[in-house]
Amino acid sequence: MSDTATPELTIERDLFSKFDEIIAVRENLLSSGVTDPFSLVMEKVLSPTRAICNGRDTILLGTYNYMGMTFDPDVIQAGKDALDQFGAGTTGSRVLNGTYQGHRECEQALREFYAMDHAMVFSTGYQANLGIISTIAGKDDYIILDIDSHASIWDGCALGNAQVVPFKHNDIEAMEKRLKRVPEGAGKLVILEGVYSMLGDVAPLKEMVRVAKEHGAMVLVDEAHSMGFIGEHGRGVAEAQGVIDDVDFIIGTFSKSVGTVGGFCVSNHPKFEIMRLVCRPYVFTASLPPSVVATAATSIRKLMHGADKRAHLWENSRRLHGGLTALGFTLGTSEPQSAIVAVIMPDLERGAGMWEALLHEGLYVNLARPPATPANMTLLRCSLCAEHSAEQVETILGMFERAGKAVGII
Amino acid sequence: MNREEIDRTILSIIEPFNKKGVQITDSTTFAGDLEFDSLTVMDFVAEIEDSFDIIISMNQQAEIENYGQLVDAVNKLQGE
């Protein structure tokens, strides 16, 4: 090797070279002078719907705080009490020293909430999918799943050894064709979501669960974005469509309607408890801090009686969806199906421009872009909260109108 | 269907996806030569699956980089 080699040449290729394209797209976007949409800091959080961002009082329309439980006084008190009585953390796995009374009480609250026999709490929702999917679907089993599934579902498939077969989003016929082609005798797991978080659309679970069961498959439904809000008891889309009794596993999270962090799986399977010993993402990680399971349990119990809040959240969703449609925006669904209203942007540049214009108006929404989005779309994702007042929703619509006109989208 | 017939069927399926009119040989790669992105791959695989009434799982797709490998894989899967 010559000693005159330039430094540029010596760093030309290394393990980070595979990220060059993403780095270039990001630099190109930021060079246009737009605020970085992926490094926003909230300096103060005033309520479930308001925070100080860059010194500005901002309405939050891009959190998953659907039921506004983060500042519920009972929830906060339960967390403080648990901190005082049980300390800051468990420093251990659920199967060793990391199961406190609070973890058991939290699982009891989940069993009651879903009216199911078993509940298992994970440290995050991501780990719940990772753990359950990779553990129950083994070599020679088949996973049939929607192509728009969340990253945690795909990663659960990647961690296991099963044959992975995707089908077109929400396409019942495409799902059935693939189920029919699975070799005789192979185990089958169908994975669906209640609400798909990018466009806020709901799955036709009634038909899909029926078809899956007709073909002898077990069914796992991720209800992360519907818990607490959809269905008579807030159990999710499977409840709303009357098929919850045929669903083998429901995966959920505490980081949305419940208002803290953590994940879970509920099931009626008679052998479900063995998962605590064989599921690696459950065993080989520290359990949730006592304050977190205490806030989760309190919140879950309050969500059982959240009918009024659910009704108001639906009103908010309908008003925002109708208002944005009337202003001329293109939305992810033609009618409101959940607490998520996705506004489709023409491209990443104008999406980022619109995102920034809204931030200057005092509104925070999620900017979502490929590869997280279906069909390479750039989305401004609005997620409503039961604590948004009717007046705030009108304010939000005014902000969208001004920003949309300034950026030239409407 | 023998290998030759499978080859002809896949060639006709590939045509609308071959936007640049790339000359297809056994060594033509999907990601490189045909510039298929993940969405195109999904639509293309779904058409192949439906035409031959087979499953090409994502695990199997990971092993298929070029056209010749796809024809071989379909030939094998069809025989199963």
CB A158 within 8 A of CB B48: no
Given B38, B50, B55, which is nearest A165 (Cβ)?
Answer: B55
Nearest residue to A227 via CA among A199, A207, A255: A255
Q: Per-residue pLDDT tens for A171-216? A: 999 999 999 999 999 999 999 999 999 999 999 999 999 999 999 9
Q: How far does the CA of residue B54 sit from the closest CA of chain A (Å)?
A: 6
DSSP string across B14-61? HGGG-TT-PPP-TT-BTTTTS---HHHHHHHHHHHHHHHT----HHHH
Q: Which domains does chain B have, with CATH numbers?
A: 3-79 (1.10.1200.10)
Side chain identity, residue A126: Y
Helix residue ranges, H only, A87-188: 101-114, 125-136, 151-159, 172-181
Residues in chain A closer than 8 A to B57 (CB atoms): 142, 163-165
Inter-chain touch B55–A147, beta carbons under 8 Å: no
Is ipTM strictly over 0.95? no
Q: How far does the CA of residue A369 sit from the closest CA of chain B (Å)?
A: 15
Inter-chain touch B39–A375, beta carbons under 8 Å: yes
- CA A81/CA A295 separation, integer angstroms: 10
Residues in chain B closer than 8 A to A371 (CB atoms): 38
Chain A residue nearest residue B53, CA to CA: A181
From chain B residues 20-49, the ones with a CB under 8 A of any chain A CB are: 37-39, 42, 46, 49
Inter-chain touch A163–B59, beta carbons under 8 Å: yes
Q: Per-residue pLDDT tens for A272-327? A: 999 999 999 999 999 999 999 999 999 999 999 999 999 999 999 999 999 999 99
Q: Which domains does chain A have, with CATH numbers?
A: 31-67+307-407 (3.90.1150.10), 73-303 (3.40.640.10)
Q: Model pTM greater than 0.80?
A: yes
Given A164, A174, A376, which is nearest B39 (Cβ)?
Answer: A376
- CA A54/CA A188 separation, integer angstroms: 50
Inter-chain touch B42–A168, beta carbons under 8 Å: yes
Contacts of A192 (CB under 8 A, 6+ apart): A145, A146, A203, A205, A208, A209, A219, A220, A221, A222
